[in-house]
């Protein structure tokens, strides 16, 4: 009696006769197709006069690539996927993508092939100017026929597609078959570091830029002027610069590196408060109260020379930082933390009435200061100021295009976030409950954890732990994770890098997709170790 049995060959089940058996060797795991097949053994009986058909390779349906942040949409498919190998190239369909292509080629140890058609084993980068999704940060990543194609409406989207590919290869050795369609939920995804209170080396900042790029951040904030120090070289006022500082050449290298990762460097010269380092060289510009006592860090906003000094610096650094974003501070002006500013600072009160009318108060003079600095920065840039630099009532209002950098609900005359949103203001989230890493943990601050951010925070949580109504979501531009160096010696640069590692990754995830993450926190931590490019 002739029996039949099932033979498992190369992962597929095929029927094999008891008399005639064909042994088939499958292609290599990289899906080599016809060129990778090896001929089977010849039939052992003359009864087999026809060639034995070779079955097709069977693949499981692919899963989404494992990345941080996670991709928002993946259409699975069956196929071998793509992995970097000998002979593989990165080619482009547009010469404007040369930088993205060369970077990816170096990271994946491929060759840069210039403008060319993709062949098996290649990655092709394209600008798809006719894409339905016009978000410049969106992209499509297609893995098919052992090739990868990344296409986007703009270079930024192509770059983010290469970050997805790089992370997928690091996590699993390959990019899965199928199509990724991806875009960020929020247009502002930032990290800020207080380099005024603590000097950070240019090399440390550059390492953070590389890290931010891989996590699809698009802003790096540099708070470089405060009461403690002024940390960037100046030609217009060299007398205000601290001994430990960044040279302009170092800053240009940081700005250029950031631009290559589609990151805007956002400078901040905080005024009219937090100017102690400037006032050390210009004590004549310091604000004094009715008793003649100097007010910490505050310039006299009634003194035209104070405005000229700050405007000199803003214009000078406008050339050094060509990006479209500026931060002009405006927080914690000490004249306005008094219960009766008009009584405490009669000279400011008199100047307010003289310049702005009989009903004007000191807060109106401060608002006028803010608006004048906005004009100095110019109309070509978006400008933001801290939320405690905006005041309720008064005879003047902040320029309507100034964005609110919302960080606290602890100021005198506290205003809820919805007040700004109802006014039609656009808001950037700096929530000090989740997004403030304050060295030494003074004033009841505690170091934020990635797990808290990952499991509890969203961009709508602007103050404390409660989100604002979803109706306001469109006016919340995004968020910034901030390092403040109140007690500068509490941690070294390397300790800061380690401490912010997981909070930065969790924030990146929630800014790219505010929905509850599908991956449990422990798995997220494990994945971070697999995809990260190193740091510290």
Q: Look at residues 456, 411, 410, 403 and name the one whose alpha carbon lies nearest to residue 434.
A: 456
What angle is formed at CA 328 by the lines to CA 325 and CA 330, rounded to 5 degrees? Answer: 145
List residues bridging with 151 in a β-sheet: 126, 140
Q: How far out from the chain centre does Cα 86 lie?
A: 33
- Report CA 149 to chain centroid distance, whole Å: 24
146 CB-near residues (< 8 Å, 6+ apart):
30, 31, 33, 80, 82, 120, 121
Catalytic member of 219, 332, 426, 433 = 332
Give exposure, 124-147, as e/b (b: 16+ Cβ within 10 Å): bbbbbeebebeebbbbbbbbebbb
Yes or no: say if 297 and 324 are a contact pair by the CB < 8 Å rule.
no
What residue has token string 């009715």?
Answer: 290
CA distance 48 to 230: 87
Locate all alpha helices (DSSP H) within 64-132, ordered by sequence: 98-108
HSE of 450, CA atoms in CB hemisphere, 13 A: 20
Q: Are strands 294-299 and 286-288 parallel, antiparallel or unpaired?
A: antiparallel
- Beta bridge partners of residue 185, listed in sequence order: none
Report how far residue 424's alpha carbon sits from residue 438's, in angstroms, rounded to the nearest whole number: 31
Active site residue 332: yes
Angstrom distance (rounded) from CA 412 to CA 415: 9
Residue (of 373, 444, 439, 381) closest to 408 by Cα position: 444
DSSP per-residue string spanning 452-503: HHHHH--TT--BTTBPPPGGGGGGEEEEEEEEE-TTGGGS-HHHHHHHHHHH
Beta pairing partners, 428: 405, 478
Residue 114 DSSP class: E
Residues that are catalytic: 332
């Amino acid at each position: 009696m002739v029996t039949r049995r099932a033979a498992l060959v190369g992962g597929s089940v095929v029927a094999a006769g008891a008399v005639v058996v064909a042994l088939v060797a499958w292609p290599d795991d990289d899906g080599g197709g016809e060129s990778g097949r090896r001929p089977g053994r010849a039939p052992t009986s003359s009864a087999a006069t026809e060639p034995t058909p070779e079955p097709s390779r069977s693949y499981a349906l692919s899963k989404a690539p494992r990345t941080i942040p996670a991709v928002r949409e993946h259409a699975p498919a069956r196929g071998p996927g793509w992995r970097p190998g000998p002979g593989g190239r990165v080619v482009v369909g547009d010469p404007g993508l040369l930088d993205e292509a060369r970077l990816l080629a170096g990271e994946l140890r491929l060759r840069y092939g210039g403008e060319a058609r993709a062949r098996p084993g290649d990655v092709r980068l394209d600008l798809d100017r006719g894409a339905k999704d016009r978000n410049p940060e969106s992209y499509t990543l297609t893995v098919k026929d052992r090739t990868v194609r990344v296409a986007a409406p703009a270079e930024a989207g192509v770059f983010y597609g290469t970050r997805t590919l790089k992370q997928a290869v690091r996590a699993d050795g390959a990019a899965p078959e199928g199509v990724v369609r991806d875009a960020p939920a929020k247009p502002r995804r930032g990290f800020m570091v207080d380099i005024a209170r603590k000097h950070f080396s240019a090399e440390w900042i550059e390492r953070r830029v590389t890290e931010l790029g891989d996590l699809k951040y698009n802003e790096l904030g540099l708070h470089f002027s405060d009461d403690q120090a002024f940390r960037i070289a100046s030609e217009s006022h060299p007398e205000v610069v601290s001994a430990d500082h960044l040279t302009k050449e170092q800053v240009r290298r940081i700005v250029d590196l950031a631009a290559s990762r589609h990151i805007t460097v956002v400078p901040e010269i905080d005024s009219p408060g937090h100017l102690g380092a400037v006032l050390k060289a210009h004590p004549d510009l310091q604000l004094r109260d009715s008793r003649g006592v100097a007010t910490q860090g505050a310039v006299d906003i009634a003194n035209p020379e104070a405005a000229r000094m700050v405007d000199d610096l803003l214009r000078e650094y406008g050339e050094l930082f060509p990006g479209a974003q500026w931060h002009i501070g405006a927080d914690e002006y000490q004249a306005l933390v008094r219960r009766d500013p008009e009584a405490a600072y009669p000279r400011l009160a008199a100047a307010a009435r003289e310049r702005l009318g009989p009903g004007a108060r000191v807060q109106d003079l401060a608002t006028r200061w803010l608006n004048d600095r906005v004009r100095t920065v110019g109309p070509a840039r978006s400008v933001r100021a801290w939320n405690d630099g905006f005041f309720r009532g008064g005879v003047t209002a902040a320029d309507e295009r100034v964005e609110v950098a919302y960080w606290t609900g602890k100021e005198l005359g506290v205003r809820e976030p919805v007040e700004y949103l109802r006014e039609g203001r656009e808001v950037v989230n700096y929530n000090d409950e989740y997004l403030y890493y304050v060295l030494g943990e003074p004033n009841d601050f505690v170091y934020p954890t990635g797990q808290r951010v990952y499991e509890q925070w969203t961009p709508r949580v602007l103050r404390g732990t409660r989100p604002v109504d979803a109706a306001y979501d469109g006016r919340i531009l995004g968020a910034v994770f901030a390092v403040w160096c109140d007690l500068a010696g509490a941690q070294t640069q390397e300790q800061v890098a380690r401490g912010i590692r997981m909070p930065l990754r969790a924030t990146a995830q929630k800014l790219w997709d505010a929905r509850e993450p599908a991956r449990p926190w422990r798995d997220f931590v494990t994945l971070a170790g697999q995809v990260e490019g190193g740091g510290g």
